[in-house]
Amino acid sequence: MRDILQNIMRQKTRSLLTGFGVFWGMFMMVVLLSVNKGVEQGFVGRSVSMSGNNIEIEPQPTTMNYKGMKRDRIWHLRNSDIDAVRRQFADKISYVSGINFEDYSNVAIGKRSGSYIIQGVTPEYLVSIPQRVIYGRYINTIDIQRKRKVCVIGEDVYKQLFDSDTDPCGQTITIRDIPYTIAGVAKCTNRQFAEDLNVSPVIQMPLTTCQSIFGRNNDIDLITVGMKDMYPMTEWDKPVISFIKERHKIHPADDEALKVYNTAQYQEEVAMATMGLTILCWLVGIGTLLAGLIGISNVMQVSVKERTKEIGIYRALGASPRVIIRQILTECLVLALTTGFLGMIAGLSAVSALRSSLAAGATDDDMLTNPYAPFLITIISFIILVGGAVAAGWRPVKQAMKIKAIDALRQE
């Protein structure tokens, strides 16, 4: 071992630069895979916050003639569709919600005012999109039945119209000069994946109240159908869509007449994206590490060439090939494992510092959440390092074994 350390220290600069390649490769591998885990958790967390087994259906102009109805017909979902879907699939659905989107309206309370989007919603809308109530309550069934003038304001609206830490519940705001009582405050828990359905900058009110105030009769802009977990929406979306098409005399093949968003398919896409990102991180990490190991292999070959006479003397004195192989491989392993282990420690320290920094300013919208290096990944990385170090030393070993004692002793 002393001879090995002396050989390494004999060329300090060369050993340092070569070892840095392995250090950096292991560092990058640990950091990349840890950050990938954090991104994966962020994606999964954001997608889990969405109801994962539902579809959103929005009417579009028809494109085919059907049952006396001409193409390019404008049609609307209605309140009765909610009840009809609920009855037709009673044993399979967990909820059906309806929503209307209205234009910006002037909203005021005291001396503060602003212009905000108004949404008419049903109670089920609370679970159909990523949101949670942070003050008061949400819209309930009685609000719908009695067309109450109550509303749930978004978090951004709350921050603009009220002082921080103020409970706005029970206070009255005016929307288009009509007074409404604030029932609660809602916060979007998934801004990244639900930008179009972000409730933080909007005001929600009972669907029936909204229809009455804005003259929408029974029209609905969009409905969301959530199925029970044992009935995957990837299989049951077609029966629901066909049922709605039949109710509104839409051709069964006219897929353009309904804009459908399936969150189950979205989550499958997220899973595929995270898998692709994981593979990419592994490839980049392993590639960087292998580049460092190849550097060690090249340096060891140069070292063997420089020590041709020394190796020849060993062989002339009766040293077995096993001794020479062990010496070269051990030298390669010591250099690779020492710098690789230091790179791993540095990578884990960097990830720990990053995790602490992210935790200090964590929000619901973070795409990078709690990065960490799983124990299995750490072990696999170390195994790759050991295997790569042995492989890196094999070429110098083969070169050393070709050296003949008599030729080496003749070398000046």
Per-residue pLDDT of 174-224, as tens digits, reads 999 999 999 999 998 766 555 566 888 999 999 999 999 999 889 999 999
pLDDT(49) > 90: no
Using CB atoms within 10 A of its CB, is residue 4 exposed (0-12), middle (13-18) or buried (19+)?
middle
Kindly state whether residue 125 falls inside one of the protein's structural domains. yes
- Output the six-digit token pair for 97: 């919600």
- Determine contact, residues 246/112, Cβ cutoff 8 Å: no
The Cα 361–Cα 9 span in angstroms is 46
203, 88: one domain: yes
Q: Which residues have a Cβ under 8 Å from the Cβ of 1 and sit 6 or more positions away?
A: 330
Kindly state whether residue 58 falls inside one of the protein's structural domains. no
322, 401: one domain: yes
Of the candidate ranges 37-41, 256-260, 281-285, the one whose mean pLDDT is the lowest? 37-41
Per residue, the 3-state secondary structure of 166-220, as one string, reads CCCCCCEEEECCEEEEEEEEEEECCCCCCHHHCCCCEEEEEHHHHHHHCCCCCEE
State the residue range of the domain holding 370: 2-48+271-410
- How distant, in Å, are the alpha carbons of 96, 243, 244, 257, 306 from that of 56? 10, 14, 12, 13, 72
Residue 301's pLDDT is what? 72
Burial 248-287 (b: 16+ CB within 10 A, else e): bebbeebeebbebeebbeebeebeeebeebbeebbeebbe
Kindly state whether residue 262 falls inside one of the protein's structural domains. no
Residue with tokens 């020479």: 324
Looking at 231, 247, 263, which one is the last position of a domain?
Answer: 247
What mean pLDDT do residues 285-291 have? 84
Q: What angle do CA 378, 384, 387 make, to 5 degrees?
A: 140
As separate numbers, helices (DSSP H) first and strands (DSSP E) second, the chain gives 13, 12
pLDDT(411) > 60: no
Kindly state whether residue 63 falls inside one of the protein's structural domains. no
Residue 76's pLDDT is what? 93
pLDDT band at 320 (very low <50, low <70, confident <90, very high): low
237, 89: one domain: yes
280, 325: one domain: yes
> In total, how many domains does the chain have?
2
Residue 327's pLDDT is what? 74
The Cα 173–Cα 170 span in angstroms is 10
Kindly state whether residue 62 falls inside one of the protein's structural domains. no
Kindly state whether residue 68 falls inside one of the protein's structural domains. no
Share of the chain above pLDDT 90, in %: 34
92, 238: one domain: yes
314, 400: one domain: yes
Kindly state whether residue 259 falls inside one of the protein's structural domains. no
- Determine contact, residues 5/330, Cβ cutoff 8 Å: no
- pLDDT tens digits, 334-350: 878 888 889 889 988 98
What mean pLDDT do residues 308-316 have? 65
More confident site: 311 or 77: 77
347, 406: one domain: yes
173, 101: one domain: yes
Residue 114's pLDDT is what? 94
- Determine contact, residues 25/290, Cβ cutoff 8 Å: yes
233, 85: one domain: yes
227, 281: one domain: no
25, 157: one domain: no
